[in-house]
Amino acid sequence: MKYLITGLGNIGDEYQNTRHNIGFIVLDALAQEAGVKFEPGRLASIAKMKYRGRVLILAKPATYMNLSGKAVKYWLTQENIPIENSLSILDDIALPVGGLRLKSKGGDGSHNGLTSIIEHLGTTEFPRLRVGIGNDFAQGFQSDYVLGRWTKTEEDILIPRIKVATDIIKSFVSIGIGLTMTKYNKK
């Protein structure tokens, strides 16, 4: 069985370790844990790993956040992976820093990366893991906030939660979304 695990973010040094790039950060942690490296691929950097007999295609879109759906659609088609075997990891200002919420479907929540995926897939019914980045910004400064770097306090909260996020991904591919949501969403 194959899965496409997509971490949303923006390419380039200026975006590295920003709140908006939490999807990249989680995938980097999972790849490091599995001992695999990302290689340039079409529309994304790609790493392949195995976990409990499943093949995971890890994708970090090179399309920038607002066009993430292009990469997701391409790799789902290229690898012949059904939508329900995909998981998109993204930042969420509606959750506190380090909060984790796995969902099987839903709207875009004003997240441009999700908007793009919904447009390219033609559905809102695909799994996503939202990682909380908090909302400690003044009105009108959301863009500056999400593209800003983590504070030391936020990093202290977030670092152990990244490991939980990688555990959620492994649970998702091994026992499915329903049981994984039951196990992790109530914490």
Catalytic residues: 20
Q: Is 41 helix (H, G, I), strand (E, B) or coil?
A: strand
CB neighbourhood size of 51 (10 A): 15
Q: How far apart are CA 56 and CA 48, in angstroms?
A: 6
The encoded tokens of residue 16 equal 């590295």
What are the φ and ψ backbone dihedral angles of 107, each rounded to 5 degrees? -75, -170
Sign of CA dihedral 47, 63, 130, 183: negative
CB 92 within 8 Å of CB 128: no
